[in-house]
């Protein structure tokens, strides 16, 4: 029973953090066998948003990916951190993202690299999208910490932060002992 409460809390918090609503189109990336699919599927559905499931052949942040963002009117992209790392490294040219309605990129699944975040922030999409970093072990029902960075927010010094605890969660930071 506790696990169901965790899912409900996660979905509620995800909808709140992403400000999901009926006008959104959310790109769902993870396999349904992966825990991240819980937030990616149930968050948009709970908010009345349109869910766009990643085509199987979409495995790289190439022109097909950018075309999908534009053609489907994606407003929120839920991406594995490794996929986002590749995308951030490439940068985007204005004409690559022209017509994009993307307003939020959610990453999670592994540590975000600061050099990729720096590259993202100077790209055309990084100038106009919020970046939400989510972190947590599967045992905690997908994620328990998050950090949202709006385009105008200054970057904190050092490594990319995992942020703070989400609602109804508590985080204990322990040292090596």
DSSP 81-117: HHHHHHHHHH---HHHHTT----EEEEESSPPPHHHH
What per-residue confidence (pLDDT) applies to 31? Answer: 87
pLDDT for residue 98 = 82
Q: State the pTM of this model.
A: 0.92
2-165: CATH class: alpha beta
Distance CA 141, CA 45 (A): 18
Strand 25-28 relative to strand 50-53, pairing = parallel
Q: How many angstroms separate the CA atoms of 127 and 59, rounded?
A: 25
Determine contact, residues 124/92, Cβ cutoff 8 Å: yes
- pLDDT confidence of residue 88: 95
Secondary-structure breakdown of the chain: helix, strand, coil percentages, each rounded to the nearest 5: 35, 20, 45
Distance in angstroms (rounded) separating the CA atoms of residues 22 and 46: 10
Quote the pLDDT of residue 80: 94
Question: What pLDDT was estimated at residue 138?
Answer: 67
Domain boundaries, the chain: 2-165
Q: Where are the alpha helices (DSSP H) in the chain?
A: 2-18, 37-47, 63-71, 81-90, 94-97, 114-122
pLDDT of residue 160: 87
**What is the pLDDT at residue 7?**
85
Low-confidence ranges of the chain (pLDDT < 50): 1
Q: Which residues pair with 164 in a beta bridge?
A: 146
């Amino acid at each position: 029973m506790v696990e169901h409460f965790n899912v409900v809390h996660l979905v509620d918090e995800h909808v709140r953090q992403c400000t999901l609503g009926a006008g959104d189109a959310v790109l769902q990336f993870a396999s349904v066998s992966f825990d991240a699919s819980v937030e990616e599927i149930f968050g948009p559905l709970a908010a009345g948003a349109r869910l766009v499931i990643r085509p199987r052949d979409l495995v790289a942040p190439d022109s097909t990916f950018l075309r999908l963002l534009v053609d489907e009117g994606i407003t929120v992209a839920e991406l594995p951190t490794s996929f986002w790392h590749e995308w951030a490294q490439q940068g985007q040219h204005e004409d690559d993202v022209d017509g994009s309605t993307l307003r939020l990129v959610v990453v999670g699944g592994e540590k975000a690299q600061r050099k990729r975040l720096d590259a993202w922030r100077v790209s055309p999409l990084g100038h106009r999208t919020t970046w939400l970093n989510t972190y947590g072990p599967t045992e905690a029902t997908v994620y328990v910490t998050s950090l949202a960075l709006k385009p105008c927010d200054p970057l904190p010094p050092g490594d990319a932060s995992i942020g703070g605890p989400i609602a109804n969660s508590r985080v204990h930071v322990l040292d090596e002992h």
